[in-house]
Amino acid sequence: MGETRLLERIREMTAEQGQRKDKAKDKPSLERSVLAHLTKLLNTRQGSTIISPDFGVPDLAAMTTSPSAENVARIESILASVVERFEPRLTGVKVVFSPSDDDPLKMSFSLQGTLAGQVSDAAVFFQTVLSPSGRISIQRAREVQ
């Protein structure tokens, strides 16, 4: 899990070789890296890694079978908390339920944050879909609706 990010940091340090990197140009690759890490993070069940017992998310499948306002709020809170804790490159994380008419068995959430370390604030938007099995898919989105 952490190996990919470690290798990315080593490559970045090697490429810099004492020169200050223009981070604004690097936003697309940073965003792709964050997206890849979020995909791994949100599809890892807590307690299944040696990194940390609370790395990942708890099993959310039971909450998807009865999408009450309370369960939706709990899922929003869990996802935001996990992302804030284990993806330090994102700050100001917000997760908001986005109802979808396409498939009532899937729950969609918008995830918004700011890429840390950018020259100027770089907001990023992702769309996550929680399937009834508990699997979470995530992709880039334009902005939170």
Residue 78: predicted pLDDT? 94
**CATH class in words for 2-9+26-140:** alpha beta
| Mean pLDDT over the full length of the chain | 82
Q: What was the pLDDT predicted at 15?
A: 67
Which residue type occupies 42? Answer: L
Which residues are within 8 A (CB) of 69 and not within 5 positions of it... i.e. 6 or more apart?
A: none
Q: DSSP secondary-structure letter at 73?
A: H
Q: What does the pLDDT look like over 60-81, one tens digit per residue?
A: 877 777 778 898 999 999 999 9
Return d(Cα 141, Cα 125) in angstroms, integer: 5
- Which is higher by pLDDT, 40 or 4? 40
**pLDDT in the model for residue 144:** 46
State the Cα–Cα distance between residues 14 and 8, nearest whole angstrom. 10
Strand pairing report for 123-130 and 107-115: antiparallel
Residue 126's pLDDT is: 92
% of residues, the chain, pLDDT over 70: 82
Least confident of 100-104, 114-118, 125-129: 100-104
DSSP string computed for 38-71: HHHHHTSBTTS-SS-TT-SB---HHHHHS--HHH
Q: Which residue has the higher pLDDT, 4 or 46?
A: 46
Average of per-residue pLDDT across 38-53:
91
